[in-house]
Amino acid sequence: MGVQGLSTVLDTHRQIYREVRFMRSRLLIDGYNLLYLLYFRSGLDENHGGDYAAFEDVIERFITALRDCRITPYVVFDGAFDYKDKKLETATERAEDRIRKAHQAAVGGMKQHILPLLAKLVFKQTLVRLEVPVAQCYSEADQEIAALAREWQCPVLSNDSDFYIFELPAGLLPISYFRWEEVERSGSQRYIPCLSYSTSSFCIFFNIQPKLLPTFAALAGNDYVKLQRKGLSISWAQFDPTGRETPSRIEGLLCWLKAFEQPQEAVEAVLGMMGELSRKKKVEVQQSLWLGMQEYQLPPSSLKRFFIHGVAPKFPVIEEVKKIYILPSKSYILNVLLRHQSRSLSLAVGHSDLPCACLTSRPLRQVMYGLLLSGGKSILVVEPERDGLQIKLTRVQPTFNGVLWQLALDSLDKVKAEPSERLQVILEALGVTEESLKHLPPQLRLPVAVTCYWLQKAQPPPDQTLLKALLLGVSNGDTLRQREGNEHKALVTISKKIVGKYNLDMVLAHSFSQWQICLKDSIHLNQLLGCPLPEPQIAGLYEGTLLHKLVPIMRTGGRLKSYLKNDRSSVKLYQTMQSILHQFYIQETSTPTETQKKVTAPQQQRQALDDLTTNLNQLFLEDEDEENVTEVKSAVRAQEDLHLNHLLSVRTRYRSKERNNRCNKPELTRKEERRGWDLLCGPEVQLSVRNQQEPSNCTSLIKTIKVMKKKKNFYGSSFRTRYF
């Protein structure tokens, strides 16, 4: 973003900057700029769905470093995508460039700086949890940040070269030179060593008038002015006085500007250098240049009252929108209201031949459009989507039916919008019921509902291995976050090494990308409705690199113990989620005919027993016999605690031996509390076994147990299976 080529010139002339010890100050932060720099420069995963727990750790360390130096951060994000279309052409080019890079990353395996789908949510959730003041502008944030920095006399932290043009009294701190990981001490004070930039130093070095800086930015080419596309570009490199073999376009322009005192003089000289132009063409060029220059004129700050008093600035085009209430600060909402367009393109690393992953969650966005546009039947929303390596715009009809008829944008903040109605909207959109989610912890109700939706809508449909891996990741999701210090860093390092051994599975990556986009859009819909479901914390919920390890391990029959938590709560959580998803699948599947039932029932039973056999084999551990017995019983007990009606019960014959062991060997009792997490068989297996009418139908299961009994160091006691 910003002025093309300016950062390179400044890196060449480092003497323009000055060394500072930054501490005891307010700091205005360009939110999205910091987000990208923190993620990409931390060496985190980009191609396997994101290292969200590790990213959360980076954000926490960054904020801690600031506060240790008594620096108060204020983070400001861009809002609606340029609703006046001043940057439409630039944004389209960047989106298509990201599409090509996402494809290259999938095929070649190299990092192409494609931000994982949920990284923005993780960033914002972490800032809110750390109580960092956050604001989101209605439109571009650059002017608002610069205006408040001027009023507060504090610096701006960003790598956007537009801030090299704004007149900032306390200067700009480029993120590239902000060494926040190297906090130093001077006496009792801590500070962050960094470089500071000021427009006065720049103008003195290049000997130009400060008032000409906006003219320089427009002529150099920024996001608003692209003269070269009109065939009107000037070769500024010819004015470079250095005589280098490869002259600098930027330095040539700066040298040319030395001859002028006023912006108008420079603009007239430029028009004269463009040869014979029609009057219409001259007016067009002049207007384009003035438009680019006006972007650096600072209005009074509207953010100060928001940060100090919590008063949001007035909506900029309220006369164009009849019904407004205090919206969640989301750019997609503003785009829909202002332009009837959804500008955001959810893009993940993936092969261009696969369909756009964002198509899966389009029905969810249609519900949002219905709420935002109050059911206007004649209104269509324009959505971008990836079509191969290109962008395609599609007109989408908002959904406005069912309980949505009773809700609209102007009623969501009123008493008549009952919580039950809000909840019903999102549950209907996801195709689940409140009853089906009641056994889950509140934080997991939305993710599990999203998973039900994903199972129904994803193309191609995810297989059981993907589903089990996802559930295992969710039930063990806080493992990475709970690990501290070197243990955490070592785990992240191991994760990267193991993932690196596997080529990117295109179908796997595409399927999990669909799940992430469904979750993101569901969170947005939930926020619009006032959060009738608790918002999940992404960093402890989903870990892309972990899932890309689990799936190939599970497909090849590998052991999972070293990757998962070994406590009963994780087992219970896993089994609860799988039970809900199984019941959802049964309800969504059409009822087969009696003939189909007779044909498929034996096959389902055999498949269920085969799945159970595989899961029992995963329990093979080289421990003492009695410990293995205890492990199996603990797995069963973890299932019984769910109070489900269909359970597989496996018990030993020797209950007295168990009681004696508990008395004589208390270490086994303690170990029992940690066992059972390996039992990965789902409710479909349990239900199949429960429905067996005769013990003879489980012959293969009994044979399997007998074979396993004979293995060395395995179950030493005799077993019997009880059917009910």
pLDDT in tens, 75-105: 999 876 554 555 566 677 888 888 999 998 9
Pick the last residue of a domain from 225, 250, 269: 225
Residue 313 lies in a domain: no
365 vs 722, higher pLDDT: 365
- CA–CA distance, 608 with 600 (Å, rounded to integer): 12
DSSP state letter for 417 = S
Lowest mean pLDDT among 111-120, 179-188, 318-327: 318-327
Q: Are 529 and 602 contained in the same domain?
A: no
Average pLDDT over residues 414-439: 84
Q: Is residue 241 part of a domain?
A: no
Domain of 137, CATH number, reads 3.40.50.1010
CB 360 within 8 A of CB 521: no
Same domain, 177 and 75: yes
Q: Dihedral sign, CA of 101, 381, 118, 465?
A: negative
Is pLDDT of 485 > 50?
A: no
pLDDT at 641: 42
Residue type, 374: S
* Helix/strand/coil (H/E/C) assignment for every residue in 210-242: HHHHHHHHHHHCCCCCCHHHHCCCCCHHHHCCC
Two structure tokens written together for 604: 């389902």
Residue-wise pLDDT tens digits, 136-148? 887 789 999 999 9
| 385 vs 393: CA distance, rounded Å | 6
pLDDT tens per residue across span 691-717: 444 344 445 545 555 555 444 333 333
Q: Do 598 and 522 belong together in one domain? A: no
CA gyration radius, the chain: 30
Are 686 and 646 spatial neighbours (Cβ–Cβ below 8 Å)? yes
With b for 16 or more beta-carbon neighbours within 10 A and e for fewer, the 196-212 pattern comes to bbbbeebbeebebbeeb
DSSP 676: -
- Structure tokens belonging to residue 130: 């750390």
Tokens of 336: 């829909």
DSSP 178: B
Are 180 and 47 within one domain? yes
Round the average pLDDT of the chain to a whole number and report it.
Answer: 76
- The answer to whether residues 136 and 81 touch, using CB atoms and an 8 Å cutoff, is no
Specify whether 620 is located in the same domain as 496: no
Strand partners, 77: 136
Position 412 scores a pLDDT of 60
- Residues 505, 652 within the same domain: no
- Asked if residues 266 and 257 have their Cβ atoms less than 8 Å apart, the reply is yes
CA atoms within 13 A on the CB side of 426: 29
Higher pLDDT, 288 or 333: 288
How many whole angstroms separate alpha carbon 363 and alpha carbon 291? 39
Portion of the chain with pLDDT greater than 90, in percent = 40
Q: How many domains does the chain have?
A: 3
Position 1 in a domain: no
Statement to judge: residues 203 and 341 lie in one domain: no
How sure is the predictor about 575, in pLDDT bands with cuts at 50, 70 and 90? confident
- Decide which of 417 and 437 is more confident: 437
- Give the end of a domain, one of 555, 577, 603: 555
Rounded to 5 degrees, φ, ψ at 446 are -65, -45
Examine the pLDDT at 639 and tell me if it is beyond 70.
Answer: no
- Are 683 and 578 spatial neighbours (Cβ–Cβ below 8 Å)? yes
Does residue 258 fall inside a structural domain? no
Q: Is the pLDDT of residue 616 over 50?
A: no
- Co-location of 485 and 379 in the same domain: yes
Q: Is residue 232 part of a domain?
A: no
In the prediction, which pLDDT does 330 show? 57
Name the least confident of 47-51, 60-64, 488-492, 500-504: 488-492
Q: Which residue has the tokens 């696969």?
A: 354
Does residue 310 form part of some domain? no
* Same-domain check for residues 364 and 479: yes
Strand partners, 18: 196
Instruction: State the pTM of this model.
Output: 0.79
Query: What values do phi and psi take at 215, rounded to 5?
Result: -65, -45
What average pLDDT does the segment 410-429 reach? 74
Residue 90, amino acid = T
Kindly state whether residue 491 falls inside one of the protein's structural domains: yes
Together in a domain, 528 and 607: no
Q: Which of residues 177, 205, 225 is at a domain's end? A: 225
Q: Which residue has the higher pLDDT, 610 or 222?
A: 222
> Do 32 and 113 sit in the same domain of this protein?
yes
More confident residue, 469 or 635: 469
- Residues 620 and 518 reside in one and the same domain: no
Residues 6+ away with beta carbon under 8 Å from 384: 95, 342, 343, 344, 345, 391, 392, 393, 394
Q: How close are the terminal C-alpha atoms of the chain, in Å?
A: 67
Is 369 a domain residue?
A: yes
User: What is the domain range of residue 470?
Assistant: 331-555
**Greater pLDDT, 306 or 670:** 306
